[in-house]
Amino acid sequence: MRLHSFFNSSTSFRVRIALALKSIPYEVVPVDLRARQHRTPEQLALNPSAGVPVLTDGDLVLSQSLAIIEYLDARHPQPRLLPEDPVERARVMEFSLAVASDIHPVNNLRVLTYLRYVLGVTEAQKQAWYHYWTAEGLLALERLLQRHGGTPYCFGAAPTLADCCLVPQVFNALRMGCDIDSFPRVMAVHGHCMAQPAFQAAAPSSQPDYVAPEPPAR
């Protein structure tokens, strides 16, 4: 298996967590989003949506992180990331889609680039956009966890797709300097997950293409 991935991509991070939890060996093919490598003809042939992640498994070429994780769960069911019970499964999907459909798309690189360079918003306005939509999204996650969640993972004793989605989104929020004080359940789950070796192995700083952030200009 090969995963076309960028170290800081939260959607790639979701899939890397699933692969690590299932102990599936794979090769990383780095795709540098900052160098626009996801828009080369070779990458567009793999992913018509122009982005990462892309999983290849034999002849199969698959994009969309949630579809990839569902495929991995069907092929390698242990440990299960999507519960078999219909209600539990729906809860996990509800939470995961709140991340993947509501939070991530409005803060994606292409949206921020359009805001900054086509609409001409300032860097501060772009940051304000990012912080606003992240806070809205994390508040929804916090409410979902308070109503239906468990401990120490999102939905109880074992990690699910929900944790694969939550952790990278919190990573992004922290990287972008968002205020996370109002989301205690979200941060408790994140803290527990990041103490686990599988989540650590999937983290941006553990990736072969990792580049440390530049120190702030003085």
Ligand X SMILES: N[C@@H](CCC(=O)N[C@@H](CS)C(=O)NCC(=O)O)C(=O)O
Integer Cα distance of 62 and 2 in angstroms: 11
- Of the candidates 5, 65, 107, 134, which one interacts with ligand X according to CB under 6 A? 65
Query: Judged by CB under 6 A, which of 61, 88, 97, 108 binds ligand X?
Result: 108
Kindly report the backbone phi and psi dihedral angles of residue 2, in degrees, each rounded to the nearest multiple of 5, phi listed first.
Answer: -130, 140
At position 109, the amino acid (one-letter code) is L
Binding segment (CB under 6 A) for ligand X, from list 5-13, 83-91, 182-190, 194-202: 5-13
CA 198 to chain CA centroid, Å, is 14
82 near ligand X (CB under 6 A): no
Which residues are CB-contacts of 68 (< 8 A; sequence separation ≥ 6)? 15, 18, 53, 55, 62
Answer whether 178's CB lies under 8 Å from 171's CB. no
Q: Which stretch binds ligand X (CB under 6 A): 4-12, 124-132, 135-143, 192-200?
A: 4-12
The binder of ligand X chosen from 17, 20, 33, 167 (CB under 6 A) = 33
Q: Does 64 bind ligand X (CB under 6 A)?
A: yes
Query: Does residue 103 interact with ligand X by CB under 6 A?
Result: no
Assigned token pair, 98:
């709140």
Quick one: which segment of 8-16, 155-163, 196-204, 210-218 binds ligand X (CB under 6 A)?
Answer: 8-16
Nearest distance, CB of residue 10 and ligand X, angstroms: 5
Please name which of 199, 186, 196 lies closest in space to residue 149, comparing C-alpha atoms. Answer: 186
| DSSP-derived secondary structure letter, 84 | S
110 lines the binding site for ligand X (CB under 6 A): yes
- In the bound complex, what is the minimum distance in angstroms from residue 104's beta carbon to ligand X? 7
Task: With contacts defined by CB under 6 A, name the span among 63-71, 125-133, 139-147, 196-204 that binds ligand X.
Answer: 63-71
Q: Encoding tokens for residue 139?
A: 């508040």
What is the DSSP-derived secondary structure letter of residue 209? Answer: T
Given the rule CB under 6 A, which residues bind ligand X?
Answer: 9-11, 33, 38, 51-53, 64-66, 100, 108-110
